[in-house]
Amino acid sequence: MATTITDSQKPFSLDPYHVSDVFGFILPAPLTELPPYYQPWMDIAQHVTELIYSHTLRSHILKMPLLNTRFLESHRELRLAHLALSVMTMGYVWQEGENDTVKILPRNLAVPYWKVSQRLGLPPILTHADAVLANWKKRDPHGPFDIENLELLVTLPGGDSVRGFFMVTLLVELAAVPAIKSIPLVINGVQCGDAETVTSALEEISQAMEGMTDALKLMHAYVKPDVFYGIIRIYLSGWKDNSSMPAGLVYEGIQAEPMEYSGGSAAQSSLLHCFDELLGVKHEDNCGAFLTRMRNYMPSSHKHLIQDISLQPSLRGFVQQEASELLTAAFQLCVTKLMALRSYHINVVSCFITVPAARARQLRRQGNSSQEETVSRAPTALEETGTGGSGIMSFLKTVRDRTRDVSLLIPLLQLPYGLGRGEGREPCVLSNTTQPSRTAS
């Protein structure tokens, strides 16, 4: 029998966590310009790719004035500043590839970068929150939110593929919005003992997870695997667990000792962390430690949301207690859809990292040191790891398997919506054929 939430049990809401009803974790309407005082930053950040290719980015940054961050007032100004400083930093470190990295980030970049990072609660390195969540604008402001009408604010080497990589990831975030909005309904429904509301909300979440998988499939249409592996990946790499920079990076003017930070990773998205905490998925040992550390690379309010979801009464326990066939099926469908999403992510990693890495190793064995094949430009230090520093395939498979552990063991043939056993295990598609884009107003 359903009960009401008492005054001591305030309804769970997304309001305190800076999560948008329309955009979820995506920063709504990012700024495209900073106040004029910061134009020296934007002049470089908006031309990072050309300056890398001309091997002059480092010299331009060294000539950049040391600017005071106190004139940055709004959250959006700080996010754009962090994005611009992040892209400059990645370009500065990796301008000459893995064999000519730097040990020191110059004071005129490091000091303001550190101060902006401290104000935002983000680390001084390019994160998912920068490159994806705060790095977009509509070409036509009145047009749809789809991949053809989206553009990056700042970019890195990789041409159309780097734009496609960030934009497709953005669309995955957008597809998750109905699920994010349903999380409070699940939590409050559990508190009230309202099985019907929980069932309906879980069905909404599982449908959104399927939409996330559909959006992720666009990666094959908009990103070339050889370009991602051979050109883009190094600029997403950090200076922790990276043999190219084993000592880390000194942020001049901050401290004399080098610091280590992980590069960009899908694990920095708050989405799957929220789903895991809601469904009761537990990650242990090295995988759990890595995922927990990745929460420090999220906006602090999003990190707090994940933590607060983890403190709520157990959804899985509620489902078992209620022993409702519909509720159990809705919970199980969420688990299955989350496993399917993670399986498809493994497929994408295979196409964009494992297969190109094998080709790069083959070229080296054959003594082919030319740059004719794009994959041969890839740093060898990243072959077995993700840009965040994890052993990528074993990590992803372990994470998927831990998702399976919360299953309530309903035979898949009894699940609604015709979900089959083969879902999420599509072949590696290496063609660049165009697929329809997802849209939102």
Structure tokens belonging to residue 109: 């970049």
Q: Pseudo-torsion of CA 357, 362, 363, 367, nearest 10°?
A: 140
For strand 250-251 and strand 150-151, is the pairing parallel, antiparallel, or unpaired? unpaired
Alpha carbon distance 328, 409 (integer Å): 10
Contact residues for 163 (Cβ-Cβ < 8 A; gap 6+): 151, 152, 155, 222
Buried b (16+ CB within 10 A) or exposed e, 30-50: bbeebeeebebbbebbbbbbe
Q: Pseudo-torsion of CA 6, 12, 18, 24, nearest 10°?
A: -150
Longest dimension (CA), the chain: 72
Please provide the distance, in angstroms rounded to a whole number, between the alpha carbons at the two ends of the chain: 40
Annotated binding site: 345
Annotated binding site for heme b: 345
Q: Measured on CA atoms in the order 410, 412, 413, 419, is the torsion positive or negative?
A: positive
Residues 30 and 153: beta-carbon distance below 8 Å: yes
